[in-house]
């Protein structure tokens, strides 16, 4: 089996809430997502999706996904898409870095592998643990009252885990955390995600001010060293996200006891193959994970679900259903949230079929 064609379409994903805001005044109102297709000589097609969180979150941007596919695609024609490690080795030899470019191709090849094997991707990634995947809801940054109202609204829809977007003015952030925690039940989980937005002294003030609350602190500062300093001054559970972009830093963070939970995003790590490698190591080391991506629609949500469902439940801190944040469905067959949970289907591969009628014209076509 050989790759004969790699193509990509752009699809705009407007937000149900109108916009999504996080640290430092960063905001997106319409996500620019790329749907990647990998087609074999026999006409079988696998699909993936890559959707950066705007151009200012990770070193990734939407037009860069497409430019990268044009650069990388010609090096992969003729390769066997089922040989995933070999394919990733080839991608790394042809294009240094740019993990988010490789992510869509790798996801599409897992979809293909599942279609060939007639098995769901989660079975091929280790097996299906449990019946369903517990979801968190990201709460866009707004004044404290409005964020608390949104937490209450999403709680009424069945969510029990909430990720507050803080990383703004530290005094307002303390209010945001206090007001949100107040309306939750003891069994609910609250994560204050600063997305690198606080300086070290600001983070120190916030963690001291909320030390009496049951709240997780996620990625308070920009650098690993700043986060480690904050970590060493709080006993609240601690999550690292933006800094965990590969195995080297994960191993260093583990040795430093720098976190209790890591956030693994598929495109941050370069696809399902690389994320699975980090995921499996985290399981071996006893580290719980948020399993997700930077953003996306139905195909991303399906990929997240297969990654999460194949992870032992005790190490699945949480995941999210990005397809419910946006107004456009880019594929059928994706998991749909039910009472704060989702589950993968039994269909082969990712179990999704793109809705070509909502996708823009083909912007990348390599053959």
Beta strands in 234-349 (DSSP E): 238-240, 261-265, 288-292, 316-318, 331-332, 341-342
User: Strands 331-332 and 353-354, how do they pair?
Assistant: antiparallel
Count of C-beta atoms within a 10 Å radius of residue 57: 20
Looking at 26, 115, 265, 268, which residue is catalytic?
A: 265
CB closer to Mg ion, 103 vs 263: 263
Contacts of 149 (CB under 8 A, 6+ apart): none
Q: What does the DSSP assignment read for 125-138?
A: TT---SS-EEBEEE
Any contact of residue 241 with Mg ion (CB under 5 A)? yes
Least gap, CB of 90 to Mg ion (angstroms): 31
CB closer to Mg ion, 10 vs 165: 165
21 noted as active-site residue: no
Per CB under 5 A, the segment of 42-50, 248-256, 260-268, 346-354 that binds Mg ion is 260-268
Pick from 276, 278, 326: which is nearest to 304 by CA? 276
Structure tokens at 162: 């909430």
Per CB under 5 A, the segment of 124-132, 255-263, 272-280, 303-311 that binds Mg ion is 255-263
What is the size of the binding site for Mg ion (CB under 5 A)?
3
Kindly tell me the sign of the dihedral angle through the C-alpha atoms of 230, 99, 33, 324.
Answer: negative
Binding-residue pattern over the window 185 to 224 for Mg ion, x denoting contact by CB under 5 A: --------x-------------------------------
Looking at 115, 165, 268, 276, which residue is catalytic?
A: 165
2 noted as active-site residue: no
CB closer to Mg ion, 58 vs 107: 58
C-alpha to C-alpha distance for 220 and 241, rounded to whole angstroms: 10
**Which residues are paired to 261 by β-bridges?**
239, 288
Least gap, CB of 241 to Mg ion (angstroms): 4
Any contact of residue 293 with Mg ion (CB under 5 A)? no
Residue nearest to Mg ion (CB): 241
Least gap, CB of 263 to Mg ion (angstroms): 5
Q: Which residues are catalytic?
A: 165, 265
The residues of the shown chain that bind Mg ion, judged by CB under 5 A, are: 193, 241, 263
């Amino acid at each position: 089996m050989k790759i004969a064609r790699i193509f990509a379409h752009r699809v705009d994903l407007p937000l149900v809430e109108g916009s999504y805001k996080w640290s430092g005044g960063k905001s997106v109102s319409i996500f620019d997502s790329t749907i990647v297709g990998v087609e074999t000589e026999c006409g079988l097609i696998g699909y993936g999706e890559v959707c950066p969180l705007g151009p200012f979150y990770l070193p990734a941007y939407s037009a860069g996904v497409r430019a990268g596919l044009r650069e990388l695609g010609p090096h992969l024609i003729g390769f066997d898409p089922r040989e995933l490690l070999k394919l990733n080795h080839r991608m790394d030899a042809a294009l240094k870095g740019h993990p988010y470019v490789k992510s869509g191709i790798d996801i599409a090849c897992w979809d293909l592998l599942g279609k060939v094997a007639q098995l769901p991707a989660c079975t091929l990634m280790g097996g299906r643990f449990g019946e369903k995947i517990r979801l968190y809801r990201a709460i866009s940054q707004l004044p404290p009252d409005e964020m608390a109202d949104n937490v209450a609204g999403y709680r009424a829809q069945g969510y029990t885990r909430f990720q507050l977007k803080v990383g703004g003015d530290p005094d307002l952030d303390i209010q945001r955390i206090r007001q949100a925690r107040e309306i939750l039940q003891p069994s609910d989980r609250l994560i204050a995600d600063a997305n690198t937005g606080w300086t070290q002294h600001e983070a120190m003030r916030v963690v001291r001010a909320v030390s009496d609350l049951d709240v997780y602190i996620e990625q308070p500062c920009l650098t690993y060293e700043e986060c480690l300093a904050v970590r060493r001054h709080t006993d609240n559970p601690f999550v690292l996200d933006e800094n965990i972009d590969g195995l080297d830093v994960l191993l260093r963070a583990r040795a430093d006891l720098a976190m209790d939970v890591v956030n693994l995003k598929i495109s941050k790590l370069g696809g399902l193959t690389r994320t699975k490698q980090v995921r499996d190591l985290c399981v071996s080391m006893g580290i719980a994970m948020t399993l997700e991506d930077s953003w996306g629609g139905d195909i991303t949500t399906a990929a997240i679900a297969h990654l999460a469902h194949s992870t032992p439940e005790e190490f699945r801190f949480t995941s999210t259903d990005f397809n419910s944040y946006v107004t456009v469905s880019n594929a059928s067959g994706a998991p749909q949230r039910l009472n704060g949970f989702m589950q993968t289907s039994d269909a082969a591969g990712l179990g999704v079929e793109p809705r070509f009628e909502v996708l823009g014209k083909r912007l990348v076509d390599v053959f």
